[in-house]
């Protein structure tokens, strides 16, 4: 049996967890899922739809929001009871953090960002390293494999399964397990009201935009296309846009239908966050910019002229 951690935000599932369930199912074992926090109980239907027979719910009065060490402790308790062959999660920052705590409690290795997994003695994994520039082939010498699945490496596939049965358990938490916890939140939404992870269209700006006022053209185009605005790390570091809009290895990894990169040179940490986009359009004055290697379409020109022209043409096309 393989145990899959379903990550959720106050009862709202992280879509990457559906990819983790799909990846686990492809390994040919029965699948069970686990959520941490009682507000994850409502995910039994979608867990079953993607192949999980049972949804284990780790509920405790001290777990009221995201508490990564408490999650690790709860997973440790459940692993001791179920003795699965592997524990998998999505390779998101939260998925990696929670499974890292589990591995630390068990004093075993953890394999993060896996694109392929073969269970055996030892287990074998292919891992994305250096922002995906290097694929590592590694053996994992542990009876239990603890691993995360690299984002967007597997398409989510429903099996139309019945709702998973719910089995609640109370982890034996220690006081230190809840020292790290969420104290306050912002909305996590961009100005368009759509999160980067949900957006089908992202219009992203970099240093070439010139400053915070330069993002008006990007916002107008994104609104016209029903999308949202993203940005590079240098933009958030300069205080031009909020961190919630940052695309990249240290921001949000995205895979929209359309990604428009305006004035972004293409630092590898940014490429790691958007290279899985279905269609990439690059607008840049530099014909040698590294990001052009990933472009499906390139426009060599001044974004302050190109974006208004694109916006005007789209308005005319829409009538």
Percent of the chain with pLDDT over 70: 97
What's residue 24's pLDDT?
97
Class of domain 201-318: alpha beta
Cα separation, 241 vs 238, whole angstroms: 8
**1 neighbors 29 (Cβ within 8 angstroms):** yes
Cα→Cα distances 287→67, 217, 273, Å? 46, 22, 22
pLDDT class of 131 with cuts at 50, 70, 90: low
* Residue 130 in this model has a pLDDT that exceeds 80: no
pLDDT of residue 146: 98
Q: How large is the angle between the packed helices 68-82 and 93-106, nearest 10 degrees?
A: 60
Residue 142's nearest CA partner among 174, 99, 173, 172 is 99
Where in the sequence of the chain do the CATH 3.40.50.1220 domains occur? 201-318
**How many secondary structure helices (H) and strands (E) does the chain include?**
8, 16
pLDDT attached to residue 183: 86
Q: Is 126 left (phi over 0), alpha (psi -120 to 50) or beta?
A: beta
Q: How confident is the model at residue 191 (pLDDT cuts 50, 70, 90)?
A: low
How much is the pLDDT for 193? 62
Measured distance CA(166)–CA(114) in Å, rounded: 28
Residues 162-178 have a mean pLDDT of 96
Average pLDDT of the segment spanning 168-190: 84
Start-end ranges of CATH 3.40.50.620 in the chain? 2-178
Q: What are the C-alpha distances in Å from 168 to residues 38, 52, 57, 100, 219? A: 8, 15, 5, 23, 45
Q: Which CATH class is domain 2-178?
A: alpha beta
What is the pTM for the complete model shown? Answer: 0.80
Per-residue model confidence (pLDDT) at position 153: 85
């Amino acid at each position: 049996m393989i145990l899959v951690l379903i990550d959720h935000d106050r009862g709202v599932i992280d879509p990457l967890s559906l990819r983790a369930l799909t990846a686990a199912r492809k390994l040919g074992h029965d699948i069970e899922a686990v959520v941490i926090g009682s507000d994850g109980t409502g995910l039994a239907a979608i867990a079953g739809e993607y192949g999980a027979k049972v949804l284990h719910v780790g509920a405790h009065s001290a777990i009221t929001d995201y508490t990564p060490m408490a999650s690790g402790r709860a997973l440790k308790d459940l692993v001791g009871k179920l003795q699965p062959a592997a524990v998998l999660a999505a390779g998101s920052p939260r998925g990696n953090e929670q499974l890292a705590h589990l591995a630390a409690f068990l004093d075993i290795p953890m394999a993060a960002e896996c694109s392929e997994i073969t269970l055996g003695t030892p287990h074998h994994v292919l891992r994305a390293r250096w922002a995906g520039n290097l694929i590592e082939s590694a053996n994992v010498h542990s009876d239990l494999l603890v691993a995360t699945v690299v984002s967007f490496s597997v398409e989510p596939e429903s099996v139309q399964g019945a709702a998973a049965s719910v089995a609640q358990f109370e982890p034996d938490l220690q006081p230190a397990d809840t020292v790290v916890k969420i104290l306050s939140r912002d909305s996590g939404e961009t100005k368009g009201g759509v999160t980067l992870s949900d957006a089908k269209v992202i219009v992203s700006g970099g240093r070439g935009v010139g400053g915070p006022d330069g993002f008006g053209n990007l916002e107008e185009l994104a609104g016209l296309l029903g999308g949202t605005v993203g940005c590079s790390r240098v933009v958030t570091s300069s205080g031009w846009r909020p961190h919630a809009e940052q695309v990249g290895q240290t921001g949000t990894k995205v895979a929209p239908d359309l990604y428009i990169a305006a004035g972004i040179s293409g630092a590898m940490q940014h490429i790691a966050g958007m290279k899985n986009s279905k269609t990439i359009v690059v607008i840049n004055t530099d014909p040698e910019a590294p990001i052009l290697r990933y472009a499906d379409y390139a426009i060599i020109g001044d974004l302050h002229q190109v974006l208004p022209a694109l916006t005007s043409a789209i308005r005319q096309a829409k009538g």
